[in-house]
Homo-oligomer: A and B are copies of this chain.
């Protein structure tokens, strides 16, 4: 993996915030517990198990597009893998999801003033074009906000094109550039456009366009939405720079069927003292369909299952339960997580027993730091955990506002304390949601560190006598 980023040598920096409430809970991080965590970390950092789990998933299943046959295969694979690895309890919980398929054909061609085929992909949940495609003049917008400002009727009979280049290779850059992907079709349709094409939300220079979710708005016409690859966007920009009318022919054959049922998959290591209290570590099992979803989120699945296996293999049971929670339907709006919160708040009424959570949905790279999101009295205890993780390259951030990453944020926003383990973004945004999200991009060495950190974190979190809500 030529682009491997070596960050293991990071020096751990502990922040110096020492204002601890007078009645802070005891950290309760005994020497014995720290030693157990160290032993787990030592074992995990020398094990390739996390990578092997991703290899198994991506080779034996492939993609796990929500609602597809492969999605069902992925659920079966995850159940079998956790049973094989000796989890005390493995089960699934149903989630009803939209059933959208890309269809066999996605083409975009510049037809004037010069002719070029472009690499294109439909955005998730886009409607199809008419059978013969849509051929119309392109109107370029530098930014999503410029498209929002387009007057009604100003794009009648045209195709809107957002040429914004994603510059910042991180969540902030992704969030900003992604506005056009998520909401562009609504803005374009309001101005009368027949379709919208965006520059891919990604940082690479490959002709592998980035798909991703988008949504329509009640009362606004649904128009086809697609992303062209970054080199094709460069080409289109060049063609537009000649100042002549540019026409593009777009064809998408995507289609939606009736909603189907998929599943969150859960595996538990049952606690010995307070088994109903549960530390939740999660990742999402679903992926887009263009590749094998190795980085997004195969790596997360691998980290969580391997973490469970290392804890099981330690031969000691935690005091409280540790739950590996593999979410369904993250890619189309954290739907598995939303249903999980609903079910556990309303049906099972055990949500308050979810004592602390953490997720991985960050591609591949070393964990660099930790931000807690716990009650003020519990902060000291989490900082004690942080000290044990320090030698593994994890710095403790000053903030105490984490809500959980990706799916876990649904649980965090519903009141569950969370910890964000923040990793090196690396080259994730080169491959995110593209045909290039394949196993060869996974940094096996970085996965060892991540599995070590999650193993230690989950073990300590489940064994400390702390109420993380307080």
Interface-lining segment among A122-130, A131-139, A203-211: A203-211
Q: Is A140 part of the contact surface with B, judged by Cβ < 8 Å?
A: no
CB contact under 8 A between A207 and B435, given known A230-B440, A231-B440, A440-B234:
yes
Q: Are A116 and B62 in contact (CB under 8 A)?
A: yes
Q: Does A115 contact B (CB under 8 A)?
A: yes
Measured in the bound complex, the distance between the Cα atoms of B242 and A59 in whole Å is: 10
0 or 1 for each of A419-444: is its CB under 8 Å from B? (1 = yes): 00000000000000001101111000
Contacts of A291 in B (CB 8 A): 207
Q: Which residues of B sit under 8 angstroms from A231, Cβ to Cβ?
A: 436, 438-441
A2 is contacted by which of B1, B205, B207, B435 (Cβ under 8 Å)? B205
Q: Which residues of B contact A1 (CB under 8 A)?
A: 205
- Is A16's beta carbon under 8 Å from chain B? no
* A436: chain B residues within 8 A (beta carbon): 205-207, 231
Identify the A interface with B (CB < 8 A): 1-2, 55, 58-62, 114-116, 119, 205-208, 230-231, 234-235, 238-239, 242, 291-292, 435-436, 438-441
Task: Give the residues in chain B near A439, CB-CB below 8 Å.
Answer: 231, 234-235, 238
Report the separation of the CA atoms of residues A235 and B436 in the bound assembly, to the nearest whole angstrom: 12
| Closest chain B CB from A366 CB (angstroms) | 20
Are B234 and A119 in touch, CB under 8 angstroms?
no
Q: List 16 A-B contacts (CB under 8 A).
A: A1-B205, A59-B114, A59-B238, A62-B115, A116-B292, A205-B440, A206-B208, A207-B291, A207-B436, A207-B438, A208-B208, A231-B436, A231-B438, A231-B439, A231-B440, A234-B440
Q: Which residue of B lies closest to A3 (CB)?
A: B205
Q: How far is the CA of A441 from the CA of B207 in the complex (A)?
A: 12
Nearest opposing residue in chain B for A234, CB measure: B440
Nearest-CB residue, chain B, relative to A439: B234
Q: Which 4 A-B pairs have the closest CB atoms?
A: A231-B438, A207-B435, A59-B238, A234-B440
Q: A61 contacts which chain B residues (CB < 8 A)?
A: 114
Contact, CB under 8 Å: A114 / B440: no
Contact, CB under 8 Å: B234 / A114: no
Measured in the bound complex, the distance between the Cα atoms of B110 and A62 in whole Å is 11
Q: Is B207 touching A208 in the complex (CB atoms < 8 A)?
A: yes
CB-nearest residue of chain B to A289: B117
Bound-state CA distance A205–B291 (Å) is 13
Could you tell me if A60 and B114 are in contact, using CB atoms closer than 8 angstroms?
A: yes
* A435 CB, min distance to chain B CBs, angstroms: 4
User: CA separation between A116 and B59, bound complex, in Å?
Assistant: 9
- Bound CA–CA A114/B235 (angstroms): 37
- Chain B residues with Cβ below 8 Å from A234 are 438-440
Query: Which chain B residue shows the least CB distance to A207?
Result: B435
A62 — which chain B residues lie within 8 A by C-beta? 114-116
Q: What B residues does A242 contact at CB under 8 A?
A: 59
A238, B55: Cβ atoms closer than 8 Å: yes
User: Shortest distance in angstroms between A364's beta carbon and chain B's nearest beta carbon?
Assistant: 13
Question: Of all chain B residues, which has the CB nearest A116?
Answer: B62
Closest B residue, CB atoms, query A115: B62
Cα distance, A122 to B140, chains bound together (Å):
35
Task: Output the least CB separation between A31 and chain B (Å).
Answer: 43
Residues of B within 8 A of A2 (CB): 205
Q: Of the candidates B59, B208, B238, which one forms a contact with A235 in the assembled complex, judged by CB atoms under 8 Å apart? A: B59
Q: Which residue of B lies closest to A290 (CB)?
A: B207
| Residue numbers in B under 8 Å from A235 (CB-CB) | 58-59, 292, 438-439
Residues of B within 8 A of A207 (CB): 208, 291, 435-436, 438
A438–B205 CA distance with the chains assembled, in angstroms? 9
Q: Which residues of B contact A230 (CB under 8 A)?
A: 440
Smallest CB separation, A80 vs chain B (Å): 14
Could you say which residues of chain B place their CB within 8 Å of the CB of A441? Answer: 205, 231
Shortest distance between the CB of A441 and any CB in chain B (Å)? 7
Which residues of the other chain, B, contact A59 by a CB distance below 8 angstroms? Answer: 114, 235, 238-239, 242
